[in-house]
Amino acid sequence: MPIYENLFRRIAAKTAAYQVKPEDHGTIFTTRGASSGTITFTLPAAADVQAGWHAKFFAVGAAAMKVASADGDNIVALNDAAADSVLVATGSAIIGNGFEFTFDGTGFLAEALMPVTANQTLAS
């Protein structure tokens, strides 16, 4: 095993719904290869992760991308401190859009990777 192996980021492409696991900490998930529908990533339950847990979600395919809470109402996103999910679904604003989620000990902080004008949708 090369000495630098642990320095690389983990990347995982998903083309169907995926239950994110606590051990996925630090992973960058993409929708590369997904061509239609909505790819839903469900975050781990808050009780299963600790403060500082994080993962990034990046839309690459033409499919819409949704990141949802397993617990409900514990995602903090633009103007909503108790969102259930975030969604990128507007055709001209899907590819290249995404979020980084960090667990702060209570909920998941959603940081948009694109400007707010990129049509990201929150569900409460």
How many domains does the chain divide into?
1
How does pLDDT run across 56-92, given as a tens digit for each residue? 999 998 899 999 999 999 999 988 999 999 999 887 7
Q: How far apart are CA 70 and CA 108, in angstroms?
A: 11
Task: Show Cβ contacts of residue 22 under 8 Å, excluding neighbours closer than 6 positions.
Answer: 44, 48, 49, 53
Structural domain for 51, as ranges: 5-123
pLDDT at 62: 87
Nearest alpha carbon to residue 34 among 100, 95, 90, 114: 95
The pTM of the full predicted model, rounded to 2 decimals, is 0.88
**φ/ψ of residue 84, rounded to 5:** -90, -30
- Here the CATH number for the domain that contains residue 43 is 2.60.120
Helix (H) or strand (E) holding 86: strand 85-88
